Amino acid sequence: MKKPSKLLLLLLIFAAPIAFGATGGAKKSDAPADAQTYKPKSPQIHRVELDALLAKPDQLIIIDLRRPDEVSSIGGFPVYLSIQADQLEKSLDFIPKDRTIVTVSNHAGRSGKSADLLASKGYKVAGYVGAKYYEEEGGKLTKIAPPAPKPAKKHKH
């Protein structure tokens, strides 16, 4: 009877991770997709509202949270403060509190979270916008092509 006990014990040891892995994966997929998505408290701004704010540039700061390659490939706004989303909290001292702020990302995910962060720190936040949504609504983004690399100089020997 000793051999079947050892066999059963080995089977349980090897089967346990598989069984727990299967239920762990099922629990994750059972969670509603909305529970995993951040819901900003700040308002999402649409083209008409943003255009009205852009008409008063001396009262506005646009904080673009995208990487430089995203701004150059998708387009951005004529004047903005470029701060990567993961650096925003470290950059608060550089953001004036006397202007209205609009945060920008591609699809408003990073900008929604960032708008809420700034509002919680006492900044005047009008809301957040997705650059792609702004363009889809008829807004015009400024596209700046990165300069071509300079040709390498040939050295004379």
Domain range summary for the chain, segments of one domain joined by +: 47-136
Tokens of 33: 């997709």
> How does pLDDT run across 30-64, given as a tens digit for each residue?
333 444 588 999 999 999 999 999 999 999 999 99
Fold of 47-136: Oxidized Rhodanese; domain 1 (3.40.250)
Q: What is the pLDDT of residue 152?
A: 81
Structure pTM? 0.70
pLDDT category at 151 given cuts 50, 70, 90 is confident
Map the chain to HEC letters: CHHHHHHHHHHHHHHHHHHHHHHHHHHHHHCCHHHHCCCCCCCECCHHHHHHHHCCHHHEEEEECCCHHHHHHHCECCCCEECCHHHCHHHHHHCCCCCEEEEEECCCHHHHHHHHHHHHCCCEEEEEEEHHHHHHCCCCCECCCCCCCCCCCCCCC
> How does pLDDT run across 98-135, given as a tens digit for each residue?
999 999 999 999 999 999 999 999 999 999 999 999 99
Tokens of 152: 């390498």
